[in-house]
Amino acid sequence: MDQRGVLFKSDEEPIEQPPQLDPSQRTRRQNIIEELIRTEKDYIGHLEMLQLLKKQLEETGRLTGDSVYSIFLNLNNILDFGRRFLIRIEQHDQLPESEQNWGRLFTHYQTAFAVYEPFIANNSRCTATVEREWDKIRMVGDHSRDLQQMVASVATLSGFLLKPFQRMTRYPMMLAVSPHVPIECCIGC
């Protein structure tokens, strides 16, 4: 395409990527931020797999709408927020370190994190529904290998359904300098 002149050529200089540091030369802060981004991507992937399972359960009609709702409640809203938050984290990481303030970023999204509250509060009902409907859930049609692993057992699926709660408890642990320091005084403040 380049030889045929089809590609758009920008007059702007290409953005230089900072050189990758040897892991032994990275600061504790850099390692924590890298872990935050990496684990956030994994977390979003797990939410997407849950959403795929939800979609398959809805499409096959194996579960009633009430059962699907009892299990997945507002998963779509959590996934939407999670994707947007991941983008914002990645954008924030691109700022020079002197301009990064991770505590302020999390404080800015404090009210948006409320999307997790109904899902977390629903955990007992979700677990009871999964156990009651397990035979139908595990028989959902064409599973990818990842979905097959997700529905390998009630415990495995329940573990995936706990991930939003686990993620919410993980943020303060990753960002806190000490257990006695509030999130506003986190990395980069």
Assess whether pLDDT exceeds 80 at residue 114: yes
* Burial of 65: CB neighbours in 10 Å, binned 0-12, 13-18, 19+: exposed
State the pLDDT at residue 12. Answer: 54
Instruction: Give the side-chain half-sphere CA count within 13 A for 157.
Output: 24
Assess whether pLDDT exceeds 80 at residue 18: no
Place of tokens 């009430």: 66
State the pLDDT at residue 29. Answer: 85
Question: Which has more confidence, 10 or 60?
Answer: 60
Domains and CATH numbers, the chain: 27-174 (1.20.900.10)
pLDDT digits (tens, 9 = 90+) for 134-184: 999 998 866 688 888 899 999 999 999 999 999 999 988 887 754 444 444
When pLDDT is cut at 50, 70 and 90, the band that residue 118 belongs to is very high
pLDDT digits (tens, 9 = 90+) for 56-106: 999 999 999 999 999 999 999 999 999 999 999 999 999 999 999 998 999
Q: Hey, how many other C-beta atoms are within 10 angstroms of the C-beta on 55?
A: 14
Q: Mean pLDDT over residues 10-32, rounded?
A: 65
Q: Which of 156, 124, 125, 132 is nearest to 143 (CA)?
A: 156
Angle subtended at Cα 142 by Cα 141 and Cα 146, rounded to the nearest 5 degrees: 115
Contact indicator for 53, 147 with CB cutoff of 8 Å: yes
d(CA 189, CA 186) in angstroms, rounded, equals 6
